[in-house]
Amino acid sequence: MKKLNSAASMLPIALNSEILILPEAEREKIEEIRLRAGHAMTVLINGEERPIAEEHTVTVDDLESVLECATGASVHAVEASMANGYINVDGGIRLGICGNAIMRSGAVCGIRNLSSLSLRIPKEIRGVAANELRQMNQNGLTDILIASPPGSGKTTCLREFIRVISDSGKRVSVADERGEISAVSGGVPQFDVGRHTDIISDAPKAKAAMMLIRAMNPDVLAMDEISSSEDMQSVFEASGCGVRLLATAHARDLDDLYSRKLYRRLMQMRIFKYCLFIENSSGSRSYRIEELKL
């Protein structure tokens, strides 16, 4: 609830009040707060958007107010991050940003004329997929890929796996490119990622992974969202160093995984022993283990 309150505090007073008057049971389930100019605010719960405060139409001034609050009135200081379509806010909250892209030399260098924002509320859930983790690691640590569509809890699951493995006495290194896994602030993780965990934040995953392997001698290397050939290459190189791997990917099932060129190549490397699929059905999540062919 603390993370939600932090996110809601960035909203204009009228919108903040609408979040706070929701029943506590409903507030606890909020995954995102979405603001679109000209429309009512919505919240994402169990993968479905629900309108609230329908009598209040979100304005461009509302969007600019949220961005100013999130950046401490220093929007210029986060322009590089905005070029990626989001900024990280203390506590692991991610503010997604849409508007007109500012282009220079063929590359996006910023966003202006805001049209919509999304405040993603990070979750810390103890015991998530605990039985599945024990089953996959029953014969010792192994390489695990966590897969699901966007917004289905991959990072939450990854974070909990990191904590459990770290607290068991294994050294875990985390390549936390977007700062969402650990939310380090002032050198201290804002999420519990275990007693034996080392983190590099805000660096490309591929580069951070190699730095961690060379410097920290991990038993396990964890990273979120394999999304580029560089990420895939770092996974391949890490596996050759005798490090166990924890990572996530966007896919609904094995067919979806193999239908995507990048992931098909990843599967052909035969690095991961298991893929844990997260499934949403009727507002609840379930976990399904697929043993991959090695």
pLDDT at 47: 78
Domain ranges across the chain:
2-120, 130-291
Task: Give the pLDDT confidence of 69-116 residue by residue, as tens digits.
Answer: 988 867 766 777 788 888 888 778 999 999 999 888 888 888 889 999
pLDDT at 280: 82
Task: State the CATH architecture for 2-120.
Answer: 2-Layer Sandwich (3.30)
Task: Give the pLDDT confidence of 150-185 residue by residue, as tens digits.
Answer: 888 899 999 999 999 999 999 999 999 988 899 898
pLDDT at 178: 85
pLDDT at 278: 95
* Torsion sign over Cα 214, 217, 219, 222: negative
Residue numbers in the chain where pLDDT is lower than 70: 73, 76-77, 282-283, 294
Predicted model pTM: 0.86
pLDDT at 77: 63
Question: Is domain 130-291 given the CATH code 3.50.50.60 in the classification?
Answer: no
